[in-house]
Each structure stands twice: as C-alpha cells, then as structure tokens.
Amino acid sequence: MENFESVARDAVLEAGEELRRAWRQSKIVHYKGAVNLVTETDKALEALIVARLRRAFPDHRIVAEEGSTGTDSFGAGGYVWYLDPLDGTTNFAHDFPHFAISLGLARNDDLVLGIVHDPIREETFFARRGGGATRNGESIHVSAVDDLDRALLGTGFPYDRREHGEFYLGFVADFMRRAQGIRRTGSAALDLCYVACGRLDGMWEWKLSPWDIAAGACIVREAGGLVSDFVGHPLDLFGTQTVASNGHIHSALVEVLRRRVAV
C-alpha cells in the first residue's frame, strides 16, 4: 500500500503543478453538452497521471473522466483507480479558484486510498483505509455538529439541470428550511473533503460519477464520517445518489432526502 500511496502522491502533485500554471492562462474549451465542459488541460493532466499509474501498475484498471483503460471489470488483484484530473472544470474555465485533482483506489468494491489535491490553496487531502485522514499531513476529523438546524451543507447540480431544474431545486428548498446554510461550490471532490475536515457538516448531490467521489468518499470515512445513498444504503460508486456527513446528522439528512425522492 505504501507504493500505491507514493506513486499516487507523486502523480497528483506533479499534475497539480501543471494545473496551477495553467489556470491563469488562456484556455481551449470544448463542450461535451450544454453545460458540460472539457478543456485541453483536463486531457493533458489525465494523460500525465494515467501514464504514471500505467508505468507503475500496468495490470491495474484505470477509470477516468475522459477515458478508461483496461478491459476487465477489475485489474490485477482487483485494483481499480478512479481519476478526475480536474474536478471543477467550469470553475477552472472561468478562472474561479476552486477545483481539484481527485484520485481514488479501490480493491474490488472496497475503497482503500484517496487523494484530492487543491493546487490553488495548496491543500492535499489523503486517506488510506484504516489509517485515518489528513490535510497536508495533519490529521483531520469531521465536525461535531449534531443538529441539522445548525449545519452548513454543500450540494451541486447534475448536467441535466436545465431539463430538470425544478426537481433538483426542490431538494434545495427543503434544506433551506432546515439547515443553517447551503453552499454550491462546483467541486464534489472538495465538498467531500470539506465534510471530512469539518468545513461542511454534510453534502448531497445527484448523478455524480465514480471518479468524482471515490477519493472523497474514502477520505470522509477515514475522517469519521458517513457516505451513503439518499435512503441510507451503502454508497454505490456507479449509483445516482451521494450523501455524506459527519455522521451525527446523517439520519436527519437522509430523512429529508427520502421524503423528497418519494414525492
């Protein structure tokens, strides 16, 4: 596991330096959908990290936002890397300084390692299964807030928000009536890390991809939090529902989400 961690850190931090240099420069932006962007930087960072992983672990599978490698469901030993080379591409494209590189490792269905690097704030969140969670090497833990009325929550909106905006806003309205505040920052990976370090008390989002959440979910769990779907079932990386919390307010979050899903 130490070798996995070393390779992942080196690859992500190298990519982070490239991302830090690129974000103030002019950008070439392509559209995968009406509100779904990809930049040349996304592609370059993915190529860099995939090359490092492939060189170190040629038999592992890599599932990345701009493309996957490997033909089997799992790689050698059941290992699969989940990579988002630039989580928060829309922020990046608009020079909004909130985005990150997210890299998680699973063995079969178990998350065993996660690293999320924010090159602008120079913050690196890391967790290894059974080893706790850190930010820049210092231990982190979820918040102690135990009342949804006093909770600060994060959320985001899927790429089909123009077609189903009223549906997604229904969840926002429910939590506006219950929580202390809601933030929509544009990076699910960082939302999860902010739950892990206590900046947020919880978060929910529809239709995230496995590369968005694999690393962050591992970090939340190792920081003492919980991650599930909207009815409290174990998180499915390939599912459509993600809710994470400090654990204390998890049942309250799920109660609000379950009622809205049932409407």
> CATH no. for residue 103?
3.30.540.10
Are 167 and 98 contained in the same domain?
no
Are 154 and 103 contained in the same domain?
no
pLDDT of residue 74: 55
Domain count, the chain: 2
Window from 18-27, 109-118, 170-179, 205-214 with minimum mean pLDDT:
18-27
Name the maximum alpha-carbon separation found in the chain.
Answer: 51
The single-letter code of the amino acid at 8 is A
Show which of 139, 159, 183 is a domain's final residue. 139
How much is the average pLDDT of 173-192? 97
**Average pLDDT taken over every residue of the chain:** 91
- Of 93 and 179, which is predicted with more confidence? 179
pLDDT of residue 118: 98
pLDDT of residue 71: 41
By residue range, what is the domain housing residue 133? 2-139
Are 105 and 219 contained in the same domain?
no
Are 104 and 47 contained in the same domain?
yes
Structure token pair of residue 228:
């599930």
CATH code for the domain in which residue 229 is found:
3.40.190.80
Window from 24-28, 144-148, 213-217 with minimum mean pLDDT:
24-28
pLDDT of residue 1: 62
pLDDT of residue 69: 57
Quickly tell me which residue has 């006093």 as its tokens.
150
Are 133 and 7 contained in the same domain?
yes
Show which of 113, 139, 165 is a domain's final residue. 139
Are 120 and 194 contained in the same domain?
no
Are 90 and 163 contained in the same domain?
no
Residue 197 has pLDDT above 60, yes or no: yes
Task: Give the C-alpha separation, 210 to 217, whole Å.
Answer: 10
pLDDT of residue 160: 66
pLDDT in tens, 59-82: 999 999 767 554 445 556 799 999
Are 59 and 95 contained in the same domain?
yes
How many helices and strands, by DSSP H and E, does the chain display? 7, 15
Are 120 and 184 contained in the same domain?
no
Residue 10 has pLDDT above 90, yes or no: yes
Are 111 and 170 contained in the same domain?
no
Q: Cβ(112)–Cβ(60) under 8 Å?
A: no
Q: Cβ(120)–Cβ(92) under 8 Å?
A: no
Task: Give the C-alpha separation, 191 to 178, whole Å.
Answer: 19
Task: Give the C-alpha separation, 253 to 222, whole Å.
Answer: 20
pTM of full prediction above 0.85: yes
How much is the average pLDDT of 151-175? 85
Residue 164 has pLDDT above 70, yes or no: no
pLDDT of residue 72: 46
Residue 161's pLDDT band, with cuts at 50, 70 and 90, is low
**Distance of alpha carbon 155 from its chain centroid, rounded?**
12
Are 160 and 135 contained in the same domain?
no
Q: In what order do the strands lie in the sheet with 110-118?
A: 67-69, 61-64, 79-87, 100-107, 110-118, 123-128, 133-135, 138-139
Show which of 139, 162, 180 is a domain's final residue. 139
148: DSSP letter: G
pLDDT of residue 34: 62
The single-letter code of the amino acid at 93 is A
Are 123 and 200 contained in the same domain?
no
